[in-house]
Amino acid sequence: MRLLDLLGRRWTLRILWELREGPLTFRALQKACGNLSPSVLNDRLRELREAGILELREPGGYAPTPIAEDLHEILIPLDNWAKRWARQTR
């Protein structure tokens, strides 16, 4: 349940998704998330780091840990499904 609580928080999945191709600095991640407020982004990054899902790499920025890479593999089918769903609901 702890993981579901964490992933269910606003912006968490978006942050993880934006990091799927590699590290991003705070500003780049904020921009990728549609200019998410700095306070919310800081909160989510702290929570994800405390959970061992993200790490801060110098100088590259925030990056998924190996366990988060596994999570990305789980999210790809969900993204594929969402794209099919979006086409059907137009």
- From first to last of its 90 residues, what are the pLDDT tens digits of the chain? 888 899 999 999 999 999 988 899 999 999 999 989 999 999 999 999 999 999 999 888 999 999 888 888 888 898 899 999 999 988
**Which residues share a beta bridge with 63?**
55
Q: Report helix, strand or coil for 40.
A: helix
Q: What single-letter DSSP state applies at residue 69?
A: H
Q: What pLDDT was estimated at residue 1?
A: 87
Distance CA 36, CA 43 (A): 11
- Tell me the pTM: 0.85
